[in-house]
Amino acid sequence: MEVKKMFLGLVLFAVLPLGAQQNPVYLDKSKSIEERVEDALHRLTLKEKIAMVHAQSKFSSPGVARLGIPDFWMTDGPHGIRPEVLWDEWEQAGWSNDSCVAFPALTCLAATWNPEVSHLYGKSIGEEARFRNKTVLLGPGVNIYRTPLNGRNFEYMGEDPYLASRMVVPYVQGVQQNGVAACVKHFALNNQEVNRHTTNVVVDDRALYEIYLPAFKAAVQEGKAWAIMGSYNLYKGQHCCHNQYLLNDILKGEWGFDGVVISDWGGVHDTDQAITNGLDMEFGSWTNGLSNGASNAYDNYYLALPYLQRIQSGKVGTKELDDKVRRILRLALRTTMNTDRPFGSMLSPEHYKAARRIGEEGIVLLKNKNAVLPIDLSKVKKIAVIGENALKMMTVGGGSSSLKVQHEISPLDGLKERIGNKAEIVYARGYVGDASGEYNGVVTGQNLKDNRSVKELTDEAVKVASEADCVIFIGGLNKSAHQDCEDYDRKGLGLSYGQDELIAALAKANKNLVVVNISGNAVAMPWLAQVPAVLQAWYLGSEAGHALASVLMGDTNPSGKLPFTFPARLEDVGAHQSGEYIGTKSQDVVNEEYNEGIFVGYRWADKQKNVKPLFPFGYGLSYTTFAYSKPAIDKKIMSSDEEVTLTVKVKNTGAREGQEVVQLYISDKQSSLPRPVKELKGFAKVKLAPGEEKEVSFAINKDALSYFDDKKHEWVAEPGKFEAIVAASAADIKGVVPFELK
């Protein structure tokens, strides 16, 4: 007997590969993720589980060391990998191996209207995150552009739910193919910075489902995002980091999200709600995310000892805890415990190339009278470059998206490098905006102090401008407080620091003036009629100067299109005319009514018959021209289970290669509920050589025709008449085809 048993043991040992006998199920790659999650869950003690649902440092939470489950490391996000910070401080740790490549801000990415570029973005930033051993990238952000005052619009993807949806999916996929989770933020209704902790958003279900949620839904259902971040604000009286409606009912219920809900830093306020209302991981408590609460006692977190005590005293059960821990274990198996994931890379030439390409494709040419652009060096021998943003490093500042870069090419340096000795470049400061250059201990090292008076600065700039063949003014906003920065909204639509007066003076001094506006937001342009050329250049990251010079000089033909409307006045924005925007600070919870409902961005502009935006959504010029054929569809009447195919030909009628973004809007002509005049439901970016023509086709199905019926709580495609509108922007319609849904 004894001998037989031993023999069997020896046989087993010989047949199974070495080590396989010891492999517990949770480490066994041949088992499904769900089996492995269950196995790991049952090995954990109560205290280990509690430890996993809250932070242990500013940006990490514990795994289970005795089981080989690694800690979870979070990083901002969304434009590059944040420098390492001290264990319990926001201050950078001062490592010398944590510089990154800064990619352009997400407004720029959205302006490319190119999902392929978005995948490149996600893949590249994901590789940097992976190489830096991060588990979760805190981004991308897809909060809808509701007001141009929102200080964080630059971190988001514009005003249209369809555009943001199409752009967020490949970003998430690109990040996650590295075995790093994307954490889509800030879920939801975080559309301003003033009162970000105290605004209780009051919004109807139609606007919620049609405008504010689709990009999150696409990220979850199509992008298969592994994490999502709750937002600071409230909805239906509950903070969104523990919000029954948004997290349990919609995200985990209706959408079937199986990933983790991570709180925004300091976004948790209540243990009982945090237990029951869908939160999985608590971070940054007792901070306001940025300036307060440098140091925390992690055991006092809402989901730490207070949670443990409730369980130990029998006040609450462990059902919710197990659900949270299952999700966290799933996260580990998808990321750090996936032994097949790639190794990542950082600071690679490919990442710089990607950053440059995204920048070049996102820059938007807003005006180009008399073909001032591209700059023709056979005629232009002296160029005046004026403005602080020609010099200022823009990767430091703006809040949690601030970075420590390996290098950043300024616009002025980019131009100098590109032009070499083919023309003389003379620089004048013109105005002094924000001379500081520090964020959490990361310093730009630039000394931008200038004590000259406004008159001295203006006189110098005007003199330099009048002596040059052409003038490039580079200004805009700058990521300091109230100038596109987290925790602050802008105070108005206008440019600060006397830039409007300066631009007007420059326009008088030289008729060949190019204004480059660097911002993540629409700005007022009272001088527009006097200025022949205007470029919208976003925060372009490490390769800013190269990307900008390439467009200014015509090496790149601009193909970016605005991802949001530039209103002529703030009063022309729905949130400011019809809805509420509470810009005064409040410590108490304040209701803010989104009375404009579904009419956000161009949906509002379209409704106001007599109000023209400064520049419409979807707008952007090229150095070439395009002609559209009459669009055609393959059937005039469709049923709800059918598709209609629309085709249109686009031809490059100019002398340069260029890219056009063909836009498809749908207009519902007969509907029981109010609908926008038209809504974006398709787009395609086509590259065309001079004289080349291509056919673009769009499939239109019932999703493109549907609205959210708030009474029935479902999407409805109502039979009746529709129009398919082919356009080059929300205000430039190229062709209309009527059709009908049976």
Min dist CB 517 to ligand BGC, Å, is 25
Residue 215 in the binding site for ligand BGC (CB under 6 A): no
Residue 561 in the binding site for ligand BGC (CB under 6 A): no
String of DSSP letters for 335-364: TTT-TTS-----S-HHHHHHHHHHHHHH-E
How many residues bind to ligand BGC according to rule CB under 6 A? 9
Q: Nearer to ligand BGC by C-beta: 264 or 320?
A: 264
Q: Are 472 and 466 in contact (CB under 8 A)?
A: no
Min dist CB 73 to ligand BGC, Å, is 12
CA distance 239 to 504: 46
Residue 264 in the binding site for ligand BGC (CB under 6 A): yes
Name which of 514, 432, 532 is nearest 470 in CA terms: 514
CA distance 86 to 94: 8
How crowded is residue 221: how many other Cβ atoms within 10 Å of its Cβ? 14
349 contact partners, CB below 8 Å, separation of at least 6: none
Min dist CB 640 to ligand BGC, Å, is 40
Name which of 34, 15, 17 is nearest 26 in CA terms: 34
Strands (E), 490-618: 513-518, 533-537, 590-593
Residue 84 in the binding site for ligand BGC (CB under 6 A): no
The residue whose two tokens read 């973005």 is 121
Residue type, 189: L
Torsion over CA: 109, 682, 680, 368 (sign): positive
Q: Which of residues 622-661 bind ligand BGC (CB under 6 A)?
A: none
Q: Are 109 and 167 in contact (CB under 8 A)?
A: yes
Residue type, 679: E
Min dist CB 484 to ligand BGC, Å, is 14
Q: Are 658 and 623 in contact (CB under 8 A)?
A: yes
692 contact partners, CB below 8 Å, separation of at least 6: 651, 652
Q: Nearer to ligand BGC by C-beta: 77 or 567?
A: 77
Min dist CB 385 to ligand BGC, Å, is 34
SS3 479: coil
Residue 86 in the binding site for ligand BGC (CB under 6 A): no
Contact mark string toward ligand BGC, 389..408, x via CB under 6 A: -----------x--------
Residue 236 vs residues 233, 363, 600, 623: alpha-carbon distances, Å: 10, 39, 21, 49
Residue 233 in the binding site for ligand BGC (CB under 6 A): no
Residue 185 in the binding site for ligand BGC (CB under 6 A): yes
**Element (H or E) spanning 46, and its range?**
helix 46-52
Residue 289 in the binding site for ligand BGC (CB under 6 A): yes
Residue 104 in the binding site for ligand BGC (CB under 6 A): no
Residue 282 in the binding site for ligand BGC (CB under 6 A): no
Write down the catalytic residue from 98, 264, 489, 668.
Answer: 264
How crowded is residue 697: how many other Cβ atoms within 10 Å of its Cβ? 16
Min dist CB 536 to ligand BGC, Å, is 24
Q: Nearer to ligand BGC by C-beta: 289 or 397?
A: 289
Name which of 339, 180, 348, 315 is nearest 259 in CA terms: 180
Residue 207 in the binding site for ligand BGC (CB under 6 A): no
Q: Nearer to ligand BGC by C-beta: 138 or 516?
A: 138
Min dist CB 185 to ligand BGC, Å, is 5
Contact mark string toward ligand BGC, 405..424, x via CB under 6 A: --------------------
Q: Nearer to ligand BGC by C-beta: 251 or 726?
A: 251
Tell me if residue 264 is catalytic: yes
Q: Nearer to ligand BGC by C-beta: 399 or 613?
A: 399
Min dist CB 140 to ligand BGC, Å, is 11
CA distance 636 to 199: 47
Token reading at 733: 């319609």
Q: How far apart are the first and last CA of the chain?
A: 79
Residue 362 in the binding site for ligand BGC (CB under 6 A): no
Closest residue (Cβ) to ligand BGC?
Answer: 289
Residue 547 vs residues 125, 127, 385: alpha-carbon distances, Å: 18, 22, 16
Residue 666 vs residues 389, 642, 678: alpha-carbon distances, Å: 39, 16, 5
Q: Nearer to ligand BGC by C-beta: 290 or 731?
A: 290
Q: Nearer to ligand BGC by C-beta: 290 or 677?
A: 290
Strands (E), 111-266: 136-138, 181-187, 199-202, 227-230, 234-235, 238-239, 260-262
Min dist CB 290 to ligand BGC, Å, is 5
Min dist CB 489 to ligand BGC, Å, is 14
Among the listed residues 52, 138, 472, 515, the single contact to ligand BGC using CB under 6 A: 138
CA distance 562 to 613: 12
Q: Nearer to ligand BGC by C-beta: 58 or 356?
A: 58
Omega before 62 cis (within 30°)?
Answer: no
For 554-570, b/e burial (b = at least 16 CB within 10 A) is eebbbbbbbbbbbbbeb
Token reading at 11: 């046989």
Q: Are 615 and 626 in contact (CB under 8 A)?
A: no
Among the listed residues 27, 86, 202, 290, the single contact to ligand BGC using CB under 6 A: 290
Residue 193 in the binding site for ligand BGC (CB under 6 A): no
Among the listed residues 26, 36, 57, 77, the single contact to ligand BGC using CB under 6 A: 77
Q: Nearer to ligand BGC by C-beta: 301 or 602?
A: 301
Q: Nearer to ligand BGC by C-beta: 289 or 541?
A: 289
Residue 265 in the binding site for ligand BGC (CB under 6 A): yes
Torsion over CA: 350, 356, 360, 362 (sign): positive
SS3 content of the chain, % helix, strand, coil (to 5): 30, 20, 50
Min dist CB 488 to ligand BGC, Å, is 12
Min dist CB 679 to ligand BGC, Å, is 28
CA distance 113 to 361: 9
- Residue 378, Cα to own-chain centre: how many angstroms? 40
| 438-439 and 227-230 beta bridge pairing | unpaired
Residue 76 in the binding site for ligand BGC (CB under 6 A): yes
Q: Nearer to ligand BGC by C-beta: 156 or 615?
A: 156
Q: Nearer to ligand BGC by C-beta: 229 or 470?
A: 229
Residue 72 in the binding site for ligand BGC (CB under 6 A): no
| 234-235 and 238-239 beta bridge pairing | antiparallel
Mark residue 497 as left, alpha or beta (left: phi above 0; alpha: psi -120 to 50; beta: remaining): left
Min dist CB 400 to ligand BGC, Å, is 4
Binding residues for ligand BGC (CB under 6 A): 76-77, 138, 185, 264-265, 289-290, 400
Catalytically annotated residues: 264
